[in-house]
């Protein structure tokens, strides 16, 4: 019998592979049974959420599990300010379900289409020096390990929790997470176009005085169109500033969002996202440097683009994130600044992004796990001081290497079982 080919492709089309089987469980129990049966048969396993990663972290030759059907907020505790959320729940869905009981997430990123398990597994983040990544809000996970054990991890086992907060799928299949949340709040935008000179002059004060602060620098006129942003003149910045506002029940009931783009007020989970989640026409690199190194690193990348890649139209996005203890978090141990830029798929994006990598290399960057990066094992070990602690836990939870693929075997220097 000829088996039909099952081809999986990510949202940007730069990752494609053909697993032996693609499964889409419809609930947590079905997901757990599926993984335990695969583990018993010693099958290699990959798990995928919303296909938003640009890297081969989910690739597998055997069983690929899609978790979109395992979704929903299971419980919301307003007193303890926690929520139990199933793995395939999108950030957008979670925002709405939390809002209905008077709760909100602390922070979000530019896109809300990702599943929560994919977002935390890769260290996805928003903006604001006083806020960690989405992973930093994780207070517990339920995970099916590479031994078939159903393991509930919480703060009573800090090393296991810090390994699971950003696991990149290497410890097992996470079926649910427990998150810290906060009372519901609204956000007010006060976004604007500023000259680069003003952004540089306001740098430290702006970071310190806004709940959420970030900016996009445009190398050419209307570079913001790549991410569906407002018009940005060349060598200017689209500055995003978000401030917290209390819930106004009457106005929220009439209109969850009010105001024009860039000056909106509304439910926090609806204000955060501002970038399209359609098929990406670009390939993105995002590197995290120490917050203290942000300005020279950004200026070096700007100079590279202007002098050597004048045809590249991607804006440079600059955001700040609070440091956190997760072993594989790009924000591990200190506050960071993320500097991201994209190469168009129709151009030679790889040559451009490799030049970006070399330009930022003096600041020992860490790469977003879901974005293109060029760190090898030696560089990974140099910038992740807790790598060995993570690998020790990985070896315990996945002794047969069922959650490894060729990409991670090379990066982590682990042998095939």
Do 353 and 265 share a structural domain? yes
Q: Which CATH number characterizes residue 111's domain?
A: 3.30.465.10
Give yes or no for a contact between 59 and 17, defined as CB atoms under 8 angstroms apart: yes
Write out the H or E segment, with its range, that includes residue 17: strand 16-17
Q: Is residue 121 one of the residues assigned to a domain?
A: yes
pLDDT recorded at residue 253: 82
Do 286 and 193 share a structural domain? yes
| CA dihedral of residues 273, 232, 52, 408 (deg, nearest 10) | -120
Do 336 and 203 share a structural domain? yes
How many residues are given for the chain? 417
pLDDT recorded at residue 335: 98
Do 215 and 351 share a structural domain? yes
**CA dist., res. 211 & res. 99, Å (int):** 20
Do 106 and 217 share a structural domain? no
Structural domain range at position 115 = 73-184
pLDDT recorded at residue 78: 83
Structure tokens at 111: 């896109």
Q: For the chain, what is the domain count?
A: 2
Write phi, then psi, for 203 (nearest 5 degrees).
Answer: -45, -65
Q: Is residue 250 one of the residues assigned to a domain?
A: yes
Q: Is residue 242 one of the residues assigned to a domain?
A: yes
pLDDT recorded at residue 5: 58
pTM attached to this predicted model: 0.95
Do 223 and 330 share a structural domain? yes
pLDDT recorded at residue 174: 98
pLDDT recorded at residue 1: 32
Do 250 and 151 share a structural domain? no
Do 108 and 152 share a structural domain? yes
Which domain-ending residue is among 122, 149, 184?
A: 184
Q: Which CATH number characterizes residue 366's domain?
A: 3.30.70.2520
Q: Is residue 270 one of the residues assigned to a domain?
A: yes
The whole-number mean pLDDT for each consecutive block of 10 residues of the chain, a chain of 417 residues, reads 68 93 97 98 96 94 96 90 97 95 94 95 96 97 98 98 98 98 96 98 97 98 91 97 93 89 95 77 96 98 98 96 98 98 94 98 98 97 98 97 97 77
Structure tokens at 366: 């860490």
Q: Is residue 399 one of the residues assigned to a domain?
A: no
Do 233 and 173 share a structural domain? no
H helix intervals, 57-155: 91-99, 116-121
Do 236 and 130 share a structural domain? no
Structure tokens at 138: 């994780």
Which domain-ending residue is among 165, 184, 203?
A: 184
Q: Is residue 276 one of the residues assigned to a domain?
A: yes
What is the side-by-side strand order in the sheet with 82-86?
73-77, 82-86, 172-180, 138-145, 150-154
Collapsing DSSP states into helix, strand and coil, what is residue 187? strand
Q: Is residue 219 one of the residues assigned to a domain?
A: yes
Per the listing, tokens 């590197």 go with 287
Q: Is residue 22 one of the residues assigned to a domain?
A: no
Do 238 and 180 share a structural domain? no
In sequence order, what are the residues at sequence separation of 6 or more whose Cβ sits closer than 8 angstroms to the Cβ of residue 262?
Answer: 189, 191, 192, 230
Do 234 and 341 share a structural domain? yes
């Amino acid at each position: 019998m000829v088996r039909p080919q099952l081809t999986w492709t990510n949202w940007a089309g730069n990752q494609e592979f053909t697993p032996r089987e693609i499964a889409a469980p419809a609930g947590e129990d079905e997901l757990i049974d599926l993984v335990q049966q695969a583990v018993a048969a010693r099958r290699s396993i990959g798990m995928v959420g919303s296909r938003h990663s640009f890297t081969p972290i989910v690739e597998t030759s055997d069983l690929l599990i899609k978790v979109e059907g395992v979704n929903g907020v299971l419980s919301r505790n307003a007193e303890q300010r926690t929520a139990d959320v199933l793995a395939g729940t999108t950030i957008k869905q979670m925002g709405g379900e939390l809002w209905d009981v008077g709760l909100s997430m602390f922070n979000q990123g530019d896109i809300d289409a990702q599943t929560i398990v994919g977002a935390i597994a890769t260290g996805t983040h928003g903006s604001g020096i006083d806020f960690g990544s989405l992973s930093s809000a994780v207070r517990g996970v339920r995970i099916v390990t590479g031994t078939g054990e159903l393991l509930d991890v919480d703060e009573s086992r800090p090393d296991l929790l810090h390994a699971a907060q950003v696991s990149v799928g290497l410890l097992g299949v996470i079926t649910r997470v427990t998150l810290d949340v906060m009372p519901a709040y609204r956000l007010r935008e006060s976004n604007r176009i500023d000259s680069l000179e003003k952004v540089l002059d306001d740098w430290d004060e702006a970071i310190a005085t806004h709940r959420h602060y970030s900016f996009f620098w445009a190398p050419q006129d209307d570079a913001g169109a790549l991410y569906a942003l407002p018009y940005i003149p060349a060598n200017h910045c689209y500055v995003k500033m978000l401030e917290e506002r209390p819930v106004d029940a009457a106005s929220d009931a009439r209109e969850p969002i009010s105001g024009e783009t860039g000056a909106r007020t509304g439910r926090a989970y609806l204000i955060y996202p501002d970038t399209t989640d359609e098929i990406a026409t670009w390939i993105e690199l995002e590197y995290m440097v120490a917050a203290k190194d942000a300005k020279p690193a950004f200026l070096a990348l700007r100079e590279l683009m202007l002098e050597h890649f004048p045809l590249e139209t991607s804006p440079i996005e600059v955001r700040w994130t609070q440091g956190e203890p997760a072993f594989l978090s790009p924000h591990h141990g200190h506050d960071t600044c993320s500097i991201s830029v994209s190469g168009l798929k129709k151009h030679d994006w790889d040559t451009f992004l490799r030049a970006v990598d070399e330009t930022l290399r003096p600041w020992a960057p860490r790469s977003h796990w879901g974005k293109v990066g060029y760190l090898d094992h030696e560089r990974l070990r140099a910038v992740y001081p807790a790598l060995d602690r993570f690998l020790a836990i990985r070896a315990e939870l996945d002794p047969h290497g069922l959650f490894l693929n060729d990409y991670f075997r090379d990066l982590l220097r682990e042998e095939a079982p």
